[in-house]
Amino acid sequence: MSEVGYKILFVCMGNICRSPTAEAVFFTRLAERNLLYKVKIDSAGTHNFHPNSPPDKRSQLHALKRGYDLSNLRARPVVESDFEEFDLLLTMDWDNRALLEERCPALHLHKIRGLAEFLQTTQASVIPDPFYGGDQGFENVLDLIEEASEGLVKFIIQNAQA
């Protein structure tokens, strides 16, 4: 199959901590299962605070310790065409979700979901923002994103067009 079957956009506020981390972790999970050809992924922010900036240095450091390289990713805002282009827009928290839902055409509202919905065992409703916290916040975000990525891979395998 040469055509991508599923398109996923990870969304947080500034696109410098959680959503690029989710993009890199999920990319790795797809690569491990030879599914990169089936899924297109990207990340964006609800706010354009850091246009074309690399991810937060703390996010990069903690991710790299686990084997995820975020250095080539660059921040961008969610744009109107994202609502049509992507099959899933996965938000990190309730504020991100509310902001997307306000902007989203009614036809595409069903595409907006929370990444935490894909957690397998952890009971969390959001992926919390680590920006103003310490090292443990970034580690917690990685733990949650790694677990949610496993659930998301299962969802893709079950639902992506063959």
Catalytic residue among 17, 18, 93, 104: 18
CA distance 57 to 39: 27
* Residue whose C-alpha is closest to residue 23's, from 67, 70, 58: 70
CA distance 129 to 16: 10
CA distance 141 to 63: 10
Is 18 a known active-site residue? yes
Catalytic residue among 12, 29, 82, 104: 12
CA distance 57 to 53: 11
Catalytic residue among 82, 87, 93, 129: 129
Is 74 a known active-site residue? no
Is 97 a known active-site residue? no
Pairing of strands 88-91, 112-114: parallel
Q: Which residues are catalytic?
A: 12, 18, 129
